[in-house]
Amino acid sequence: MATTSEIVKAQIQITNDRLWVNEDGSVTCDNHAGVYLASAIKAKPKAKSHRTPLGTWDAFTLNLLGALPCETCVDWSTLDLSELK
């Protein structure tokens, strides 16, 4: 039986795009970053971490995170997890 991570990886495109993970578990990409994070990225585009009023965001890539894509890019409700039953 496949794991959730294996099933999700098979259904999403694994890229080397940068993702930002907040300490509360929120995940976003450069394109969907909110105003605070987008401003911080613009000010220091090569930084691996940004502190904003909404928390600290650390940079990762999707291939490092496995099946944890941007929450806006991937609609989790459309993923087929029926193999887990």
Report the alpha-carbon distance of residue 57 to residue 55 in Å, rounded: 6
Residue 74 lies in a domain: yes
pLDDT digits (tens, 9 = 90+) for 42-70: 999 999 999 999 899 998 876 666 556 67
Q: Is the pLDDT of residue 85 over 60?
A: no
pLDDT tier for residue 81 given thresholds of 50, 70 and 90: low
Q: Is the pLDDT of residue 14 over 60?
A: no
Residue span of the structural domain in which 44 resides: 4-78
Closest-CA residue to 22 (of 62, 49, 45, 61)? 49
Residue 85 lies in a domain: no
Residue 83 lies in a domain: no
Closest-CA residue to 47 (of 15, 39, 84)? 39
Report the alpha-carbon distance of residue 20 to residue 57 in Å, rounded: 6
Report the alpha-carbon distance of residue 18 to residue 22 in Å, rounded: 13
Residue 72 lies in a domain: yes
Residue 48 lies in a domain: yes
Number of domains in the chain: 1
Residue 84 lies in a domain: no
